[in-house]
Amino acid sequence: MSTLNRDGRKTVFITGCTSPGIGNALAREFQAKGCRVIASARTRKAIADLEELGIETVDLDVCDEESVKAAAREVEGLVGERGLDVLVNNAGRNMTLPALDVPLSEARATFETNFFAVVLMNQQFTPLLIRASPSLILNIGSVAGIIPYIYSSIYNASKAALHAYSDTLRLELEPFGVRVMVVVTGGVQSNIARTERLLPDDSLYRPVEREFNARVKHSQSNAMDTGMYARGLVREALKTEPKQWVWRGNMAHAIKWAWNLGLGGWLFGRYMRRIGGLWRLAAMVGSKKVEGKKIV
């Protein structure tokens, strides 16, 4: 079956498109490349800037099953029998706290957005992708799913789960002509990386609070512009045979290089200990003692 809609364009549906951010930049770039773009956010009002460009919009809370089902029905009504060419699972949630300090409710919410919501989206939208096959699911992963990004264990784990899930999903959807791409994203200017986080009063990491505070927004240091990120990613996604894994963003290719050489665990372990103040913390612990969650 043809992958083109009635007006001759490929159709792309993207989650998490509020500005500024990756989803918003991707919506603009796919449109610039001649695609019909359907963007989504919790409310259409949040993406009015995209509507002004002629991009169609849909209300969608990716963590709400009924909202996802309603969005799938709405998109089906828009694309009709020809289906959907590209689904971009971009919506995400940040969680930057030491593993011992993460409230369980926050850990669950992070996995709900970064992993289980993607599972739900794929289940509801894949029938539309099969209609348009060959088609593509594009899952926005992270270098955090590859390296031990300090004070980010829950977020890291959610992205590592997404990577593993995507690799198996790729095999299972192959017979139906639906490809799966994982984008291992490095530093990119993004909304979720600007979330304020504070250490609890009783945190074991209070002595290195300065390093923790710097880490909270570390990914935004020398971060790649969202437009530049989107241009390279869209170019790859629209190829006849897109790659299964794409590395994009600040430091992404350096991390790929180090990991492929077998240096990743050693090199990034040392780097994370330094930026997290762990060597300094270890010296404090060595000269004192720990009672409960305090160094005394």
pLDDT at position 294, please?
65
Res 289 pLDDT > 70: no
205 is catalytic: no
Q: What's the pLDDT tens digit per position in 139-156? A: 999 999 999 999 999 999
Residue 151 falls in the annotated catalytic set: no
DSSP per-residue string spanning 97-139 = S-GGG--HHHHHHHHIIIIIHHHHHHHHHHHHHHHT-SEEEEE
Ramachandran quadrant class, 14 (left: phi over 0; alpha: psi -120 to 50; beta: rest): beta
Amino acid at 166: S
Question: Which tokens hold the place of 246?
Answer: 């794409």
Question: What per-residue confidence (pLDDT) applies to 207?
Answer: 94
pLDDT at 52: 96
d(CA 158, CA 218): 19
User: What is the C-alpha to C-alpha distance for residues 148 and 29, in angstroms, rounded to an integer?
Assistant: 31
**Digit-coded pLDDT (tens) for 7-31:** 678 999 999 999 989 999 999 999 9
Of the residues 159, 205, 217, 243, only one is catalytic, namely: 159
pLDDT band at 292 (very low <50, low <70, confident <90, very high): low
Strands 290-291 and 294-295: antiparallel
Choose the catalytic residue: 151, 155, 205, 229: 155
Which CATH number describes the domain made up of 11-295?
A: 3.40.50.720
pLDDT recorded at residue 261: 85
pLDDT tier, 1 (very low <50, low <70, confident <90, very high otherwise): very low
- Residues 273-283: tens digit of each pLDDT: 999 999 999 99
Q: What is the pLDDT of residue 192?
A: 64
pLDDT for 2 equals: 36
- Mean pLDDT across the stretch 242-271? 89
pTM of the shown model: 0.92
Cβ atoms 181, 239 nearer than 8 A: no
* Per-residue model confidence (pLDDT) at position 228: 96
| Confidence (pLDDT) at 4 | 47
- What's the pLDDT band for 290 if we cut at 50, 70, 90? low
More confident residue, 254 or 33: 33
Average pLDDT over residues 180-207: 87
First to last CA, the chain: 69
What three-state secondary structure class fits 261? coil
pLDDT, tens digit, for every residue of 75-131? 999 999 999 999 999 999 999 999 999 999 999 999 999 999 999 999 999 999 999
- Tell me, what amino acid is at 109? A
Mean pLDDT over each residue of the chain, to the nearest integer: 92
Domains of the chain, by residue range, sit at 11-295
